Chain A
Amino acid sequence: MNTNIPAKLINDKFMEKIASNDLNKAAEVATDFTRLTLREEGLLRKILPPQTITAAELDKQLDTDEPVKIIDKEVSQPLSMSVGFATLPKNRIMKGDRYRVDFARILSPSYFQDVRRLEQYDYDIRNVFKENAIKDHMTAEDVPFFAAVDAIVGSTGNAASSVTGKVQYYDFSTSNNPLGSAVNFDRNSIVEATKILSKGYTPGPNALGKDSTPIRLNTDLILMNANTGREYLKLQHSNIGDLSTDLFKNGLSATTILGHKHLFTMKDDVIPDGVAYYFAAPQFLGKFYELEQPTMFVDRRAFMVEFFIYSSIGASIGNPYGVAKVKFF
């Protein structure tokens, strides 16, 4: 795939290929456009960049013929300790943990029409359907991911996650947050939120309890919708210094604030106003595999043209401590 070709140019080539009945080429240019757009706009793809996987790299299972990949996890191990002379060490069996990535297909509807009817629109109606199908494809990838994140952090803010036991959801709109009073979107809450992942936490009692190394992660990416992001623009010079001027002048062009990468999305149906998500770096978070990259199937039988998009993907959050959520307002 040539990623240097502008999406618009790729798109314009599509109808040329359809007109000349070169369906393989039409599918190829449409697939290029699809993958380019997904890479630019898919949220999950920004949080956990997909890794291409082949059938040979999958792990056969005894009880299913569906594709599955097994991933080894980093082990949880106990701390060293200071002891008196002649004390022998405790024994620990070396045993790791694993998690699985199951795969499924993402499939758009099949759009079809008589080519003579398609010609009767002043705009490229097929292209509108195609772009919407791509957006729907992204939504089908993103929505289950954020549902999984919400399931980890829980539905109640400032309460321990039932999955990890750690508080990974701060709700600054209520007074029981770590700052002790409802503060909404201000300098204090913004900074406090960045501590969720990095605050050391020792799981127990099921794991190694207080003997184990506390789990600490750096925040790698902060994701919020553009409406929430614009709250940064309201912060005064007395709060954030020259950044206030920069933000007010240039809008949300800054992608690094507080030393953390920010991603501002227009998708307020996926990320509600006032909510932000915090993610550890992909290597500490999980896996997102593409068994089949998004592919545009295009067919023309006589005068009927049809297309649909399909892919096969699988993703798992291998480290539930690597996600956090904040509700500012």
Chain B
Amino acid sequence: MSLQVNVNIVKGWPSASVVEKSLSAAVAVAQGDIVYISSAGQWEKATASAAKEAFIIMADSTDPSTGRTSTNPNSYTQIAYGAVHGLSLSNALEIETTRYTGSSFAPNTELTLDGTTGALKAAASTNVVVGRCTTGFVQIGDRKYITFAPCAPYAKA
């Protein structure tokens, strides 16, 4: 939970035509995490896959409107309204995000996921690609973003 903006959709959203979901999270997720939908219909983290629909998380699972539980459960019980919002990477979007690992993100750098952390990183030759950088680093305040255009995932090799 934070007031910091770790994801900014530069182009393509808000829009009534995007594929978006509000789901509960099977594990803690944060803004910018790239996740998948589990068989139970919850957000889950996994390695990049060309066989699954990838989503980018727009809110921390600890934010108030995400159906979170009470912060002090023995004192009170929060009614869990809300869910965690995510946008499909198959949408035509351009996204700024601080959720990445690595230091080299020139335009056209193909991006994959860093294991099961939900973070983006530059794709190696055998990785599944989920997007391509459109701009190098952008510094806004104390946040350093990479900008990328997501795509339907494909195996790079």
- Please give the residue numbers on chain A whose beta carbons come within 8 Å of chain B beta carbons, in ascending order: 61-68, 73, 97, 99-106, 144-145, 147-148, 151-152, 163-164, 206, 286, 313-320
Contact B65 A104 (CB under 8 A): yes
Contact A104 B75 (CB under 8 A): no
Contact A68 B76 (CB under 8 A): no
Residue of B1, B2, B76, B82 with most chain A CB atoms under a 10 A cut-off: B76
Check A66/B65 contact, CB under 8 A, given A105-B82, A144-B80, A313-B81: yes
Contact A64 B64 (CB under 8 A): yes
Interface flags for B54-79 (1: CB within 8 Å of A; 0: not) read 00000000011111101111111111
Check A151/B77 contact, CB under 8 A, given A64-B2, A65-B3, A105-B82: yes
Query: CB-nearest residue of chain B relative to A146?
Result: B79
Residues of A within 8 A of B79 (CB): 144-145, 148, 314-317
Contact B76 A104 (CB under 8 A): no
Contact B81 A106 (CB under 8 A): yes
Query: CB-nearest residue of chain A relative to B59?
Result: A66
Check A317/B80 contact, CB under 8 A, given A63-B2, A102-B68, A144-B67: no
B100-152 residues at the A interface, CB under 8 angstroms: none
Residues of A within 8 A of B65 (CB): 66, 102-105
Residues of B within 8 A of A104 (CB): 64-67, 81-83
Q: Is the interface of A mostly helix, strand, loop or mixed?
A: mixed
Find A63's partner among B3, B72, B81 (CB 8 Å cutoff).
Answer: B3
Residues of B within 8 A of A319 (CB): 76
Contact A67 B64 (CB under 8 A): yes
Residues of A within 8 A of B64 (CB): 61, 64, 66-68, 100, 102-104
Interface flags for B79-101 (1: CB within 8 Å of A; 0: not) read 11111000000000000000000
Query: CB-nearest residue of chain A relative to B79?
Result: A315
- Total chain B interface residues with beta-carbon distance under 8 A: 23
Query: How far does the alpha carbon of A63 sit from the alpha carbon of B1 in the complex, in Å?
Result: 6
Q: Is the interface of B mostly helix, strand, loop or mixed?
A: loop
Query: CB-nearest residue of chain A relative to B83?
Result: A104
**A to B CB contacts below 8 Å, 20 in the list:** A64-B2, A66-B63, A66-B64, A73-B75, A73-B76, A102-B68, A102-B82, A104-B66, A104-B81, A104-B83, A144-B79, A144-B81, A145-B79, A148-B77, A148-B78, A163-B74, A313-B81, A315-B79, A315-B81, A317-B79
Contact B77 A317 (CB under 8 A): yes
Q: What would 20 more interface pairs be, CB under 8 Å, given A61-B64, A316-B76?
A: A66-B65, A68-B64, A73-B75, A99-B72, A101-B78, A102-B65, A102-B78, A103-B81, A104-B81, A105-B65, A105-B82, A144-B79, A144-B80, A148-B79, A148-B80, A151-B77, A152-B77, A164-B74, A317-B79, A320-B74
Residue of A61, A104, A105, A164 with most chain B CB atoms under a 10 A cut-off: A104
Query: How far does the alpha carbon of A106 sit from the alpha carbon of B80 in the complex, in Å?
Result: 12
Residues of B within 8 A of A286 (CB): 76-77
Residues of A within 8 A of B72 (CB): 99
> How far does the Cβ of A164 sit from chain B's closest Cβ, in whole Å?
8
Residues of A within 8 A of B3 (CB): 62-65
> How far does the Cβ of A209 sit from chain B's closest Cβ, in whole Å?
15
Query: How far does the alpha carbon of A316 sit from the alpha carbon of B64 in the complex, in Å?
Result: 12
Residues of B within 8 A of A99 (CB): 70, 72, 75-76
Find A206's partner among B74, B77, B82 (CB 8 Å cutoff).
Answer: B74
Contact A318 B2 (CB under 8 A): no
Residues of B within 8 A of A144 (CB): 67, 79-81
Find A163's partner among B66, B67, B73, B78 (CB 8 Å cutoff).
Answer: B73
